[in-house]
Amino acid sequence: MSTSTRKITIDPVTRVEGHGRVTVQMDEQGKVEQARFHVVEFRGFERFIQGHPYWEAPLLVQRLCGICPVSHHLAAAKAIDQVYGMDPQDLHPTATKIRRLLHLAQVFQSHALHFFYLASPDLLFGMDAPVEKRSVGAVAMEHGELARKGIQMRQFGQELIKALAGKKIHGITAVPGGVHKTFFPHEREYFLSEEGSPSVDTMIQWSLEVVGFIKDYHDKNFSMLDSFASYPSGHLGLVDQNGGLELYDGLMRAIDSRGGITLNDAHSDSYLKHFGEGVEKWSYMKFPFLRHLGREKGWNRVGPLARLNVCDHISTPLANEELREFKAYTNGRPNNHTMHSHWARLIEVLYCAEAIKELLNDPAILDEVERPTVNRRPEGIGIIEAPRGTLIHHYQVDEKGSITKCNLIVSTTHNNEPMNRAVQWVAQNVLDQQQEITDGMLNQVEVAIRAYDPCLSCATHSMGQMPLILEVLDADGKVIAEYRKDAT
C-alpha cells in the first residue's frame, strides 16, 4: 500500500441530468476520510422570476428542466391557483382531471426514460461493463425487444403530453384556476386504440412485463441489489386522504427508517413550519430537513422508493398487487435498499399506465372547463410528486400581481443528503484501501447516484450538459489523482 494520500475526483457524473462532481479524500493508509457529491452549477430561477406577473410563473419555471417541465409547470400552477384565489378542490373537476392526466403522462415517460435509457445498461451489462456498453445504444443493439418497448413507452407518455399541452416539452396546459385546452374525443381515441400506435392497454401490459423483468433480475441478483449503497434513512412523499399513493395533490407524510411517523399527513400550507434548508460551501444544492428532527436526523429520501414506503396502498389494482409484494419483501418495514428504487420506479410506471386508462375512459375528461373569476391572494404554495420526488413551489406577490418572492425545494434537493450517503457507502465499501481505482469502481459511484435519477439542473434551479469528476485528495487536500468523464 502506498503511503501517499489521495483524492479521487469524478467529474462529470454521467447518465444523470445536470452537472455533478464526486470527491473522495483518502489518508496515508488509503482509507477513505471523506466522500462528497458536489453540485457545481447555479441558475438562480428563484431570483430572476421576481418582478414577473404571477401568471407567468407556470410558463417560466418549466424552463428549469427539459425532462420534467410538466412537474414544474403543475407545481407552479397549483401555487398560482391560490394566488388567483382558488384552492385545489375549487377547480373545475375536469381541469383537475386533465392536469392529473398530464402529470401521469409525465411521470410515465420520465420513469421510462430513466429505466430504459439511463439505468438499464448498469443492470444488463454490469457495473464493470466497458464504457461503450453503458448506453441505450448498446441496449438497443443487444436487447432489441426491451429497447423497442422502452422507446415506445416513453413515446406514449410524450405523445399524451403533446395532446394535452401542445408540445412534448414546455407546452402549456395549466392557467390560473384551470386549464388552457379541452381534450377532444379524437385525441382520446388515439391513446385508447391500437391504430397507429400501441394503446394504453399495451402500455399496461408492457409495464407489467418490465416489473416482471426487474423482479426476475432481483431473484438472480438479490445479493447486490439488497446491499449496494443501502443505508437507513427517512422517507418523504405525498399520500391521499386514505394513505394511498398520490402524485398530484395530497398530504405530506414522512417516516423514519423503522417506519415511525415523522411528519403526519401535513397540509402543503405548513411546509415552511416543517422544513428547513441547510447550506454547505462545497455545493450549490441545499440540504432540506425536518426542523423538529434537525439537520443531522431530519433528512429524507424522496422519489419512487420513498413514495412506496410512505403509502399504505395504491388505487389501481395491478400496481397495488405489486406494492403488496414489494412491501412483503421487507416484511412491511421501510425498504432502505437504494437499488430497489428501480423496482419501485417500475411499479409506479404500472400505476401511471393504469391511472391513465382510468382517466381516458372517464367521460368527464372531455367536458368544457369553466374558470370563475375570484379574489386574488398574496401567496400560494404548490406541492406535487415529480418523478424524482416531492417538489415544492412557493410564491408571494404584491398588490399589482408581481412576484416578490419565490422559494423552490426541488425533488433532487431532498435527495442531496441521501446521494451523499450513497457516495460515502461506495467510497467506504468499494474504493477504501484500493491501490488502483478502476473504471468499474468509478462507475459504481455513479450507479449509486443514478439510482436516485437526480436532476441536478432542476435542483440548483443550469443550463448544462451532464458531466462527472472523481477526485482523490491527499491528507493536505491536494488533488493527486483525477478521473474525468466528458459530458456531451
Partner 1 sequence: MNDGLLIFGIGNSGRCDDGLGWAFLDRIQTEAGFSGTVEYRYQLQVEDAAQASCAQRVIFVDSHDGVLPGGFAFKPCMPSRDFEFTSHVLPPRAVMHFCQELYGKTPRADLLMIQGVSWDLGEGLSPEAANFLEDALGFFRNELLPGLC
Cell numbers given for 208: 407489467
Using the rule CB under 8 A, which residue among 3, 89, 132, 219 binds partner 1? 132
CB of 132 to partner 1, least distance (A): 7
Phi, psi values for residue 455, rounded to 5°: -120, 95
Nearest to 250 by CA among 259, 240, 261, 258: 240
In terms of CB distance, is 196 or 317 closer to partner 1? 196
Q: Are residues 370 and 118 in contact, defined by beta-carbon separation less than 8 angstroms?
A: no
Residue 64 in the binding site for partner 1 (CB under 8 A): no
The answer to whether the beta carbons of residues 108 and 352 sit under 8 Å apart is yes
Part in contact with partner 1 (CB under 8 A); list of ranges 49-57, 133-141, 353-361, 469-477:
133-141
Nearer to partner 1, 1 or 141 (CB): 141
Alpha-carbon gap, residue 174 to 353, rounded angstroms: 22
Please, are residues 456 and 464 in contact by the beta-carbon 8 Å criterion? yes
Stretch that binds partner 1, among 23-31, 130-138, 224-232, 255-263 (CB under 8 A): 130-138
Residues 2-61 that bind partner 1 (CB under 8 A): 14-15
Evaluate the CA torsion angle 152, 158, 160, 162 in order and state its sign.
negative
Sign of the alpha-carbon dihedral angle for 135, 61, 77, 419: positive
- CA distance linking residue 304 with residue 320, whole number of Å: 14
Please list, in sequence order, all residues whose beta carbon lies within 8 angstroms of the beta carbon of residue 103, skipping any fewer than 6 positions away: 70, 71, 74, 247, 248, 384
Cβ at position 439, least distance to partner 1 in Å: 11
The footprint of partner 1 on residues 184-223 (CB under 8 A) is 196-197
Residue closer to partner 1 by CB (options 189, 280) is: 189
Contact between 140 and partner 1 per CB under 8 A: yes
Taking the least distance from each CB to partner 1, the nearer of 146 and 318 is: 146
Torsion of the alpha carbons at 97, 324, 112 and 100, rounded to the nearest 10: 10
Nearer to partner 1, 14 or 320 (CB): 14
Q: Interface with partner 1 by CB under 8 A: which range of 90-98, 134-142, 289-297, 445-453?
A: 134-142
Single residue of 141, 192, 261, 364 touching partner 1 by CB under 8 A = 141
Q: Does 166 bind partner 1 (CB under 8 A)?
A: no
227 binds partner 1 per the rule CB under 8 A: no
Could you give the CA distance from residue 125 to residue 139 in angstroms, rounded to a whole number?
9
Q: Does 144 bind partner 1 (CB under 8 A)?
A: yes
Measured CA to CA in angstroms, residue 87 lies from 93, 122, 151, 376 at distances of 12, 43, 37, 11
With contacts defined by CB under 8 A, name the span among 143-151, 331-339, 431-439, 446-454 that binds partner 1.
143-151
Q: Is 124 in the site for partner 1 (CB under 8 A)?
A: no
Binders of partner 1 among residues 434 to 473 (CB under 8 A) are: 465-466
Residue entry with cell 411528519: 263
Our CB check for partner 1 shows the closer of 186 and 220 to be: 186
Residues 230-259 interacting with partner 1 (rule: CB under 8 A):
none
**Applying CB under 8 A, which part among 132-140, 211-219, 279-287, 380-388 lies near partner 1?**
132-140
Q: Is residue 114 close enough to count as binding partner 1 by CB under 8 A?
A: no
Binding region for partner 1 (CB under 8 A): 14-15, 117, 131-132, 134-137, 140-141, 144, 147-148, 151-152, 154-155, 158, 196-197, 465-466, 487-488
